[in-house]
Amino acid sequence: MNITGQEFIFGCSAIGCGICMIAGLGPGIGQGIAAGFGALAVGRNPGARGDVTSTMILGQAVAETTGLYSLLVAILLMFAKPFTS
């Protein structure tokens, strides 16, 4: 079997794309934990609902950026093929 450099680059790009999409698990788990603790905090102190909600949403937005960056890198590796000539 003869593998050219171009085919090797495409294969490594596909593997890198898969690894990037695994990075999407972290933000999902983190946002679920944040939402659970936010609901717990509001349940304990309903008067602080606005503060807890705004802090929770800000934290989830920061956590989501990791997933969006990994998606962007995966799309670039699959469709833009930056390592080919």
- Residues spanned by the domain of 33: 10-80
**Which two tokens mark 63?**
């956590």
Q: Does residue 23 belong to any structural domain of this protein?
A: yes
Q: Is the dihedral of CA 46, 52, 54, 60 positive or negative?
A: negative
Domain total in the chain: 1
Q: Does residue 85 belong to any structural domain of this protein?
A: no
Q: Does residue 1 belong to any structural domain of this protein?
A: no
pLDDT exceeds 80 at position 84? no
Q: Does residue 24 belong to any structural domain of this protein?
A: yes
- Residue 40: pLDDT band by 50, 70, 90 thresholds? very high
In this structure, what CATH number is given to the domain that contains residue 23? 1.20.20.10
pTM for this one? 0.72
Q: Does residue 5 belong to any structural domain of this protein?
A: no
Gap between the Cα atoms of 48 and 57, Å rounded: 14
- Residue 80: pLDDT band by 50, 70, 90 thresholds? confident
Average pLDDT of 67-78? Answer: 89
CB–CB of 20/74 below 8 Å?
yes
